[in-house]
Chain A
Amino acid sequence: MTRLLEPRAIGMPLERLDGHAKVTGTAPYAFEHALRDPLYLYPLEAAIARGRMTAIDTAEAEALAGVVAVMTPRNAPRLAADDDQELWLLQSEGIHFRGQLVGAVIAQTPEIARHAAALVRIAYEAEPHDAALAADRDDLYKPEQVNPDYAADTDEGDVEAALAAADVAIDATYTTPMEHNNPMEPHTTVAIWEGGVLTLYDSTQGAHSVRTTLAPVFGLAPDKIRIIAPYVGGGFGSKGTAHAHDVLAGLAAQMVPGRPVKFALTRQQMFWLAGYRTPTIQRIRLGAGRDGRLTAIVHEVIEQTARFKEFAEQTATSTRIMYASPNRRTSHRLAKLDVPVPSWMRAPGETPGMFAGEVAMDELAVACGLDPIALRIRNDPAADPQSGKPWSGRKLVECLREGARRFGWDRRAPNPAARREDGWLVGMGVASSTYPAYALPGSRATIRYGEDQRYVVRIGAADIGTGTWTALTQIAADALGCPIEAVRLEIGDSALPHASVEGGSSGINCWGSAIVAAARAFRGQHGAAPVPGAEIGAEMPEDPEAQRFAMHSFGAQFAEVRVNADTGEIRVPRMLGVFSAGRIINPRTARSQFIGGMTMGLSMALHEESVLDPRFGHVVNHDLASYHIAAHADIGDIDAVWLDEVDPHSNPMGSRGIGEIGIVGAAAAIANAAWHATGIRIRDLPITPDKLLA
């Protein structure tokens, strides 16, 4: 059993320690660091989806007053490693997708840079491109693995025989559209090349992961790259990896040594340069007995990747662990298209996969004449169906029951389209939620007792608006057995001890474990009354229990939906999420994560859809005027609660991570509630009035 911390500061709803600086505008985001003599970069972007550049005329741009340099493949510094084609910039004339970075203008002001970029003339030799995903393509292929390292396919038992013999069977196809992350702060990098060292003020979820990725690309030793990111205005996964703009800024900086080069993507550019969630086409087949007990589960996924780089979303992996059945099959097939490469978007895999899976479960409940909660409870597996390992704590059933009680599920009519109020059809829906407890290796923390009698806790962790500054301070205080005022945390810099990326909802688990290890080592070495200057570091220990248990968080999402009988207008007046995610370090920031996730799920259910024009290979609605995101006024009474629990196997805090589970299942709960309201089953997101009127 993991030695658990005694909770004193953790579990307290501490206000954000960085809150004051943020609301008063003094917390510097990437673009805002006060640097002397900055230059500004505006990129050149490919205007075709596939082919090559045959000529680049930069004369007019170079002649413009205030332009310092125009960088193209002809004069760009050389890069060292081409294994990541997304980052292999300006090394050839080739074009893989529309909007690809093919050059840059560096100028005295952002306005001049942008104007000059418009003066550069590029001639192309276009090749036919292919940007349309379809289920009936004959070139779909099986990836070697899906993100991050799951098998692409699984197959157990004999699903075909079980489906043929099933009393009740569901066979339906669900689709989710291309979706884009839109954090408030755009992807931004300020690069400085000085004395053989590249410094990036970056808007990133992982200072060290960007360093690790970029060092070989630039052919630099890791200690010759420094990434600084104390405050980050949201990421949702899109800042979890280095993207091309980081490389472009780094190349530009090498052309103007000693001068900072500032580069922030425009909102539009974020729609092709910062990753996105692949569209998915998901066929689900379920077989069950009359009693609803599952005998077969099949989840077959078709999705896209870029021809020049593979990203395979793990859309069906949640299905592997959700419900018990002797016969189970999952698969992922990809189409390689001439489009930007997909990437992480909050709970990649679980988010689209659990939309399809949990709507399918609702359909099965209807087919079996069972309450959807009862169906889920009936199929709750005692151990992980995939690995056979015991759960470190699977409390899905408790979440469903607690949610049902709080939400007033007993008032739900068994039949759809049964409640009508003032011209609005009213329904309730439920869906399960899940997310794995990832533990990424390699985080390290140091603790030093300072002259000011405070403990300086250093780790290169990231706070992307989630509350890391606060939560890690709480963990450090408990680990050291001191008041939180006695802790001075330093994060957001690759010059600090190595930290894993803020991704996979793993940040607090990993960084907290490293801090606890360091604190224990510190007390062991220096005792309760250290002398100023006492210091020690420690790495996050490996968790032997991780091998013995299947560790996943679970939750239950409830939604009330109103659909106007005349127009199909949809409103979601009420949502409730009940989560089982181990110990909650800070209820205030945790609630924001859960509610934020659920809100993003509502937005996915009703609004978000990137429309890719296959004729040109670009997203047409590439701005917030036409890519719709739920506004405050779209959100009614939304609440998140959690079970009061501690995971005794996960880590010393007993936590499992909370950043992503809130979005998982939210869209399914809304789709299921829309069905309950109207009797109309919508299997294609987003749920818009025209689909309900069709």
Chain B
Amino acid sequence: MKAAAFDYVAPQTVAAALDALDAEGEARILAGGQSLAPLLNLRLATPKRLVDIGRIAALRRIEDRGDHHRIGAMVTHAAIEDGGMALADHGMLAHVAAGIAYRAVRNRGTIGGSLAHADPSGDWPSALMALDARAVAAGRAGEREIAIRDFLRGAFATALEPGEMLTAILLPKLSAAARWGYYKIVRKAGEFPEAIGAALFDSERRRARIVIGALGSAPLPLDNLAARAAEKGIEAVALDAVEAALREAAPDLDRIALRHHAVAARRAILEALAP
């Protein structure tokens, strides 16, 4: 299928991009196009105007900001996979990036596009939530920071207001003691996952996160379980315990989905905590 007719602009700056985004939501940002282009072609999305942010050099940068890195929204999965820049994340982002679809998709797909798209089965929403990252949203009134937890509102729903765009992700640096795990269950190579588990334990920074993804809604943090795991170790988070915590947090999951998500989380925890 072919997309319905639209105007196309490719501004060079964020300010120009914001100008091109009218507040009524008739314009849509085009990043890597890996989610948007199919939506356009299937005519599930029929924006009047596409604002291609691919020419805005500032959005492609990764900057060291002391206690965190600022990753431009247009940084591609492939750039993160290739790891040109040390991120103080113990390789977690590169690992997650390498597991997204296949290289052709990663060459164009962007971390910002993925987060703004907020597909429940997408990798970045779960991974960035586990990392306590923050989203930077720019609008006419300036920039604001939003914790990923608050940014992701549900399936394909974010805290971005009409006329706002995502410009960067702020990634806190991990301490040397940090350990992470990331596991997804896929039925077939290259498919979107059936279940995602992400785990992060940073004892020095007193952070413990377990996040369940691919639920059909926004990723689900299991903070109590994470705290227990951090405190008591692997034994405290046997599969039964993970399943129980998840059942409580997501009572609607059927038996098999519950099992798959619990196992994904459990494997991520094991990766992170195994000696």
Enumerate chain A residues within 8 angstroms of B194, measured Cβ to Cβ: 689
B188 close to A (CB within 8 Å): yes
| Chain A interface residue count, Cβ-Cβ cutoff 8 angstroms | 21
Residue B239 lies at the interface, judged by CB distance under 8 Å to chain A: yes
Cross-chain contact B259 with A631 (CB below 8 angstroms): no
Within the complex, what minimum Cβ distance (angstroms) separates B192 from chain A?
A: 9
Contact in complex: A690, B256 (CB < 8 Å):
yes
Specify which chain B residues have a CB less than 8 angstroms from the CB of A184 in the assembled complex.
Answer: none
Q: Are B189 and A689 within 8 A (Cβ)?
A: no
Are the C-beta atoms of A689 and B2 separated by less than 8 Å? no
Nearest CB of A to B79, in Å: 22
Take A566-B259, A567-B263, A693-B259 as given contacts and tell me if A633 and B189 are in contact as well, using a CB distance cutoff of 8 Å: yes
Candidate in A566, A569, A631, A694 with the most chain B CB atoms within 10 angstroms: A566
B185 neighbours in A (Cβ, 8 Å): 567, 569
CA distance A566 to B264 in the complex (A): 10
The answer on a CB contact under 8 Å between A566 and B191 is no
B188 lies within 8 A of A693 (CB): no
Asked if B2 and A114 sit within 8 Å, CB to CB, the answer is: yes
Which B residues touch A632, using CB under 8 A?
189
Q: In residues 66-101 of chain B, which contact A (Cβ within 8 Å)?
A: none
- The answer to whether B162 has its CB under 8 Å from any CB of chain A is no
Within the complex, what minimum Cβ distance (angstroms) separates A340 from chain B?
Answer: 21
**Interface assignment of A630: CB less than 8 Å from any CB of chain B:** yes
Is B188 a contact of A689 with CB atoms below 8 Å? Answer: no
CB distance from B56 to the nearest CB of A (A): 30
B190 at interface by CB-CB < 8 Å? yes
Tell which of A266, A606, A633, A693 touches B256, judged by Cβ atoms closer than 8 Å. A693
Known: A689-B256, A690-B256. A631 touches B189 (CB 8 A): yes
Chain B residues within an 8 Å CB radius of A634 = 188-189
Interface flag for B153 (CB, 8 Å): no
Query: What separation, in Å, do the CA atoms of A501 and B127 have in the docked complex?
Result: 54
Judge whether A607 is part of the interface by a CB distance below 8 angstroms.
yes
CB–CB A630/B188 < 8 A: yes
- Per the 8 Å Cβ criterion, residues 163-217 of B in contact with A are 185, 187-191, 194
Contact indicator B256/A607 (Cβ below 8 Å):
no
Establish whether residues B260 and A689, one from each chain, have CB atoms under 8 Å apart when the complex forms.
yes
CA A384 to CA B266, docked complex, whole Å: 55
Whether B187 lies near A566 (C-beta < 8 A) is no
CB distance from A137 to the nearest CB of B (A): 30
Residues of chain A lying within 8 A (CB to CB) of residue B189: 631-634
B188 contacts A566, C-beta separation under 8 Å: no
Bound complex: CA A42 to CA B84 (Å)? 48
Roughly how many angstroms separate A472 CA and B194 CA in the complex, as a whole number? 47
In chain B, positions 243-275 with a C-beta closer than 8 Å to chain A are: 255-256, 259-260, 263, 266
Are B2's CB and A111's CB within 8 A? yes
Give every chain B residue within 8 A of A689 (Cβ-Cβ). 187, 194, 256, 260
Q: Does B187 contact A567, Cβ atoms closer than 8 Å?
A: no
Q: Is A628's CB within 8 Å of the partner chain B?
A: yes
A263→B164 CA distance, assembly (Å): 44
- Of B1, B191, B239, B259, which one neighbours A628 at CB under 8 angstroms? B191
Which residue in chain A gives the minimum CB-CB distance to B239?
A: A566
A631 engages B187 (CB within 8 Å): no
| Cβ-closest chain B residue relative to A565 | B263
Determine if A379 is an interface residue (Cβ-Cβ < 8 Å): no
Tell me, in angstroms, the Cα distance from A133 to B259 when the chains sit together: 32
A688 CB-CB contact with B under 8 Å: yes
CB of A39, distance to nearest CB on chain B (Å) = 18
Q: Which of B115-136 contact A (CB under 8 A)?
A: none
A688 vs B187: C-alpha distance when bound (angstroms): 8
Residues of B within 8 A of A567 (CB): 185, 259-260, 263
Residue of A nearest to B260 (CB): A567
**Is the Cβ of B256 less than 8 Å from the Cβ of A631?**
no
Interface size class on chain B is 10 to 19
With A566-B263, A689-B256 known to touch, is A628 a contact of B187 (CB < 8 Å)? yes
Smallest Cβ distance from B185 to chain A, in angstroms? 6
As a 0/1 sequence over residues 653 to 694 of chain A, the CB contacts with chain B under 8 angstroms (1 = contact) are: 000000000000000000000000000000000001110011
- CB of A270 to closest CB in B, whole Å: 15
Chain A min CB distance to B45 (Å): 16
Q: Which of B2, B190, B255, B260 has the most CB of A within 10 A?
A: B260
Cβ-closest chain B residue relative to A633:
B189
A111-B2, A569-B185 known; A633 vs B190 contact (CB < 8 Å): yes
Write the nearest CB–CB distance from A253 to chain B, whole angstroms: 24
Contact in complex: B190, A631 (CB < 8 Å): yes
Q: Which residue of B lies closest to A566 (CB)?
A: B263
Which residues of A (578-622) have their CB < 8 Å from a CB of B? Answer: 606-607
Identity of the chain A residue whose Cβ is nearest the Cβ of B257 in the assembled complex: A690
Q: Roughly how many angstroms separate A111 CA and B188 CA in the complex, as a whole number?
A: 34
Distance in Å from the Cβ of A186 to the closest Cβ of chain B? 14
- Give the docked Cα–Cα distance between A387 and B255 (Å): 51
> In the complex, A234→B256 CA distance in Å?
37
Complex: A566 Cα to B187 Cα, angstroms = 14
Nearest-neighbour CB distance to chain B for A51, whole angstroms, equals 27
Most A C-beta atoms less than 10 A away, residue of B189, B255, B266: B189
* Contacting residues of chain A (546-571) with chain B, CB-CB under 8 angstroms: 564, 566-569
Query: Which residue of the partner chain B has the closest CB to A630?
Result: B188
Kindly supply a per-residue 1/0 record for chain A positions 401-425, scoring 1 wherever the CB is within 8 Å of any chain B CB and 0 otherwise: 0000000000000000000000000
* Nearest CB on A from B143, distance (A): 36
| Alpha-carbon distance between A564 and B188 when the two chains are bound, in angstroms | 14
Would B188 and A631 count as touching, CB distance under 8 A?
yes
Query: CA A577 – CA B266 in complex, angstroms?
Result: 37
Set of chain B residues within 8 Å of A606, measured between Cβ atoms: 188
Give the distance in Å from the alpha carbon of A566 to the alpha carbon of B259 in the complex. Answer: 8
- A606–B186 Cα gap in the complex (Å)? 13
Bits for A443-469, please: 1 = Cβ < 8 Å to B, else 0.
000000000000000000000000000
A564 to B267, CA, bound (A): 12
A690 neighbours in B (Cβ, 8 Å): 256
Cα separation A568 to B190 with both chains bound (whole Å)? 18
- Residues of chain B contacted by A630 (CB below 8 angstroms): 188
Closest Cβ–Cβ distance, residue A9 to chain B (whole Å) = 39
Q: How far apart sit A688 and B194, CA to CA, in the bound complex (Å)?
A: 12
CB-CB under 8 A from B1, the residues of chain A are: 114, 266
Report B-chain residues with C-beta under 8 Å of the C-beta of A628: 187-188, 191
The minimal Cβ–Cβ distance linking B198 to chain A, given in whole angstroms, is 17
CA distance A591 to B104 in the complex (A): 29
Contact residues of A between 238 and 252, Cβ < 8 Å to B: none
A111, B41: Cα distance in complex, Å: 12
Central interface residue in B2, B185, B255, B256, by most chain A CB within 10 Å: B256
Check A607 against B259 for contact (C-beta < 8 Å).
Answer: no
Bound form: Cα–Cα A381–B191 in Å: 45
Q: How far is the CB of B262 from chain A (nearest CB, A)?
A: 8
Cβ–Cβ < 8 Å partners of B2 in chain A:
111, 114
Measured CA separation A607–B239 after assembly (Å): 28
- Docked Cα-Cα span, A517 to B23, in Å, equals 77
A328 to B36, CA, bound (A): 58
Residue with the greatest number of chain A CB neighbours at <10 A, chosen from B2, B188, B190, B194: B188
Tell me the bound Cα distance from A111 to B5 in angstroms. 12
Interface centre among B1, B255, B263, B266 (most CB of A within 10 A): B263
Complex CA distance for A95 and B249, rounded to whole angstroms: 50
28 contacts between A and B (CB under 8 A): A111-B2, A114-B1, A114-B2, A266-B1, A566-B239, A566-B263, A568-B256, A569-B185, A569-B187, A606-B188, A607-B187, A628-B187, A628-B188, A628-B191, A630-B188, A631-B188, A631-B190, A632-B189, A633-B190, A634-B189, A688-B187, A689-B194, A689-B256, A689-B260, A693-B255, A693-B256, A693-B259, A694-B256
Ranked 9 nearest A-B pairs via Cβ: A633-B189, A566-B263, A690-B256, A567-B263, A631-B189, A634-B189, A631-B190, A693-B256, A111-B2
12 A-B pairs besides A567-B263, A689-B260 with CB distance below 8 A are A111-B2, A114-B1, A114-B2, A566-B259, A566-B263, A606-B188, A630-B188, A631-B190, A633-B189, A634-B189, A688-B187, A694-B256
Binding site for B on A (CB under 8 A): 111, 114, 266, 564, 566-569, 606-607, 628, 630-634, 688-690, 693-694
